[in-house]
Structure 1
Amino acid sequence: MTDLSTALELAPVVERVHGDNHPELTRVRELTEQISQSAVATETTQLFRELRTITQDYAVPSDGCEAFTSVYDSLRAADASHAKA
């Protein structure tokens, strides 16, 4: 499974479980979906920039579960791969 596919699979679950305490997770899910559908590098770069901002550079909060960590780790890795491309 690729980094982005892991995030795509788990982001809705994490949003459902942690969304009440972390409303930014709705936008994380939306951005993850947009990145997966984006074919334009400059658009993808902007989407990752917004993700870094709203996640505070993919910092998992203290109440984050293993799936929460997996989403942010996957997004961080996808972001790094995109930056190298």
Structure 2
Amino acid sequence: MTDQNLARAAELASHIERVHGANHPELTRVREITLALQQSGNETRTVELFNELRTLTHNYALPDDACEAFAATYQALERADRQRAS
């Protein structure tokens, strides 16, 4: 479910921002978008947020220094995005 994926991503987003944020400042915005997606009930806004997220993450591409939590966050976001689009 999209909600479960977003919940998982939101759970991890603060952690990866804290651990990797110095080298990946985009993670602050990833966290903000993830939280906004959880709260959004507006389909148009949701589409805009996922568009921004795909741009920001280069389509959920993991950097070389990504840890398991980083990977899990991006994977959950990507699953939520795919489920929303289908």
Report the TM range for the smaller structure's normalisation: over 0.9
Report the Cα distance in structure 2 between the residues aligned to 1:81 and 1:15, rounded to whole angstroms. 25
Count of equivalent residues: 84
Taking structure 2 as the reference length, the TM-score comes to 0.96
Paired-residue identity, %: 54
CA RMSD of aligned residues (A): 0.9
Listed as ranges, the matches of 1:3-82 within 5 Å are: 3-82=5-84
Counterpart of 2:4 in structure 1 is 2
Deviation sequence 1:17-67 (CA, Å, 0-9, x none): 000000000000000000000000010000000000000000010000000
Query: Quick one: which amino acid aligns to residue 16 of structure 2?
Result: V
Higher relative contact order (CA 8 A, sep 6+): 2
Look up the SS of the partner of 1:21 in the other structure.
Answer: coil
Unpaired segments of 5 or more residues in structure 2?
none
Report the Cα distance in structure 2 between the residues aligned to 1:34 and 1:49, rounded to whole angstroms. 13
| Divergent runs of 4+, >6 A | none
Q: CA deviation at 1:2?
A: 1.2
